[in-house]
Amino acid sequence: MSVTFSHTFISHVRLLYDFALDQLASGKTTRDGINCYTDFAGPAYVSAVAAIEAFTNEVLFGSIAKYVLKESTLWALDQRWVERLEILNKLIIVPHLLFNKSFERNSQPYQDLTLLVKVRNDFVHYKMDEKIPSYVKPLEDRGIALPAASEFGDYAWVHKLSTSEGIRWANNTVCRVANALIGFIPEEYKQVMFASLLQNFVEIPEDFARDRVRKIETSPKNGESKK
């Protein structure tokens, strides 16, 4: 029986986003519009990258791919080397060898995935370094990282990136990569190569976040409504 695991990872990203909104509802966390500080962002970044890694391996390296695309030069390479490639390199090399199509390094969604992988790596290898990564300010400008605490001080960079919008961005980034990856597959092979797995990769629209925040703002609390 074929078993997939990418679904588990991406489902946990969405679950962590729900937990983050629960923190927002508690009123005990820093908030900026629909964005708030949350303890769940770090694990979400890790799970999001794991989701696209698992999805890539499930779709491109299974026995079905080896059968329907048996003429590809991919299979002439050392498979241990290919499978151990870092995900960003794998997503460039493998689709090109299988489909003669691939991601463009300077275009979306590959650019955001590159950034997400950097964020994941910096969280996992965090050394309590005060040096702020160069990508924090662009993410702040996009409403993903929290803005400065005040004109007199700021949060630690890991806290600026520990946000509900960071989780939503991570989820949407890997969903877009998954959709683009399936788009490279010739139509006659899509279904047999598990294109149906895309149903697990669902973006979280901004309107969803705004609706949740609006409900939080208007929900009764201690007999009164938040204004």
Q: What digits encode the pLDDT tens for the residues 187-197? A: 888 888 777 88
87 vs 117: CA distance, rounded Å: 9
Distance CA 226, CA 218 (A): 5
What pLDDT shows up at residue 193? 78
Query: What is the mean pLDDT of the segment spanning 134-141?
Result: 96
Structure confidence at residue 213 (pLDDT): 83
pLDDT for position 226: 37
Q: How far apart are CA 163 and CA 38, in angstroms?
A: 5
Q: In angstroms, rounded to a whole number, what is the distance separating the alpha carbons of residues 140 and 166?
A: 10
Domain boundaries, the chain: 6-225
Lowest mean pLDDT, pick from 15-24, 106-115, 131-140, 209-218:
209-218
User: What is the residue type of 88?
Assistant: L
Mean pLDDT throughout 151-164? 86
Instruction: Give pLDDT, residue 181.
Output: 96
pLDDT class of 165 with cuts at 50, 70, 90: very high
Contact status, residue 117 vs residue 130, Cβ threshold 8 Å: no
**Is the per-residue pLDDT at 183 higher than 90?**
yes
pLDDT digits (tens, 9 = 90+) for 48-95: 999 999 999 999 988 888 888 999 999 999 999 998 999 999 999 999
